[in-house]
Amino acid sequence: MATLASELDLPVLLTDRITTETTLPSDAWLVRNGFGYAVWRYDDVTRILRDKRWHSATSRIPELMGITDEKFLSRQDISILSAEGDTHTRLRRLVAPAFSPRSADRLRPFMREVINDLVDKVAAAGRADFAADICEPYPIPIICELLGAPKSDWQLFSRWANDILEVFSMDMADKLELIMRTQDELDAYTRELIAERRSKPADDLLTDLIAQEESGDKLSESELVMMVNAVIVGGTDTTRNQLGCAVNLLSEHPDQWAILAEQPELAPRAVEETMRYFGAVRGTARFASVDIEYRDIMFPAGTFMSVSLLEANRDPNVFTEPQAFDITASKSDQPQLTFGSGIHYCLGQALARAELQEALPLLAQRMPNLRLDGPTTWKPDGVGIFGPAHMPVTFDAGH
Ligand code: HEM
């Protein structure tokens, strides 16, 4: 007979989540936190993320933030990020081909162009705010190119992305009007772009998604709009912060920065190891859609469960020498978990991997001898995405 979770005498975590580095009890596998419970071992994290009875908590964020605004809540259409069951399977089946590694690969030359342009602006000075000058602008042109939006709209997208991403901020409740206004603007823009692509197909994601729509089962127009929204929400802040975390980490390991410049073929390993050691998405959350018995404990329907990707990525049962950072060695035959696991496993992982694999070696070559030039200011750890707000660096000029 399973014990009810609420009847257990569990350690209590003072922080609400375990997305920040914290001391966890070594003899326990479960703690209580402000929302419900939390797990952090690789085995528990993957088992919970792969169990379809645990549903994504994304749709519950407004409620967790205490938002009661009816107008806002009623607008939160079903998104792939929060859909479950058959709805999610269908969406994922329809959109997956458009997010294949092959689709990501066709953007690689463009990614190099974007990074080179950004470095050109700071190369002569030999100093930069790496977060503001490189990370912040990097993903926007790529998302625009992916969607087929013209260069003249980069600024617009940048503003939309910033405003919409307020849904992940701790003061989201004060930003509702702004978020809704921006969603309206983006929706109208996307509908126009869809109409354009229907009459004039191009080599981009939107055309691919529309083509999927054309073959048998279809994505509706509002599902297409939702996908564009999901790409902006899922694909901008994640990538820019991951790049910031990776370069911050590498700046503390100058030998590995130099190796990467000399051996750009190490880029895939460097991406996996930086994401393992210092992931920008440090945790996510689920809630029990039904009563769930797990490891002889009963979690009643509605129970919230935080999962720490950060801690799972350093689990000594899975990774050899997990506290050592090394882009030249393989530490496990199991994947790092910063892209999640299970049905919600990052849809944009091939694109994100390509963006980071193109950026890191190029940056190492063009910013030799990179070092921190003052303290890095970190963004507040909102709902899980973490990275540098300001990161002053110096490097050898003129490359
Ligand atoms: C380094 C960059 C990125 C990281 C660390 C990251 C991380 C993640 C994680 C952890 C999840 C699962 C969340 C959960 O299970 O609760 C996820 C889902 C998702 N990501 Fe990413 N992501 C990145 C880049 C991207 C990009 C570039 C795109 C789009 C172009 C994207 C689109 C999505 C979407 C649509 C989902 C939801 C998938 C689903 O629910 O089926 N992500 N991402």
Q: What are the tens digits of pLDDT across the range 216-245?
A: 788 999 899 989 988 988 899 899 999 999
pLDDT in tens, 325-376: 999 999 999 999 999 999 999 999 999 999 999 999 999 999 999 999 999 9
Would you say residue 113 lies in a domain?
Answer: yes
Look at the alpha carbons of 242, 247, 248, 254 in this order and tell me if their dihedral is positive or negative: positive
Boundaries of domain holding 180: 3-376
Task: State how far the Cα of 168 lies from the Cα of 308, in Å rounded to an integer.
Answer: 17
- Decide: 126 and 396 in contact? Cβ < 8 Å: yes
Cα of 162 vs centre of ligand 1, distance in Å, is 17
352 Cβ inside 6 Å of ligand 1:
yes
Residue 383 lies in a domain: no
> Per-residue pLDDT tens for 181-194?
998 999 999 999 99
Q: Is the CB of 238 under 6 A from ligand 1?
A: yes
pLDDT greater than 80 at residue 270: yes
* 274 in contact with ligand 1, CB cutoff 6 A: no
* Residue 241 host element (H or E): helix 237-251
284 CB within 6 A, ligand 1: yes
Q: What is the arithmetic mean of pLDDT over 38-59?
A: 95
Question: Domain tally for the chain?
Answer: 1
Distance CA 37, CA 169 (A): 22
Closest residue to atom 27 of ligand 1, CA basis: 235
Residue 309 vs residues 18, 43, 353, 379: alpha-carbon distances, Å: 9, 11, 17, 18
Query: From the CB of 347, is ligand 1 less than 6 Å away?
Result: yes
% of residues, the chain, pLDDT over 70: 95
pLDDT at 215: 61
Whether 386 maps to a domain, the answer reads no
CATH of the domain at 101: 1.10.630.10
Asked if residue 387 is part of any domain, the answer here is: no
Q: Evaluate: CB of 338 within 6 angstroms of ligand 1.
A: yes
User: pLDDT-based confidence at 1, cuts 50/70/90?
Assistant: confident
Q: For residue 91, give the ligand 1 atom closest to its CA.
A: 41
Is residue 222 included in any domain, yes or no? yes
**Rounded alpha-carbon distances, angstroms, from residue 262 to 256, 358, 366:** 10, 14, 11
Within-domain flag for 160: yes
Residue 394 counted as domain residue: no
Q: Quick check: is 391 in a domain?
A: no
Asked if residue 153 lies in contact with residue 224, where contact means CB atoms within 8 angstroms, the answer is: no
Query: Rounded to an integer, what distance in angstroms lies between the CA atom of residue 105 and that of residue 82?
Result: 27
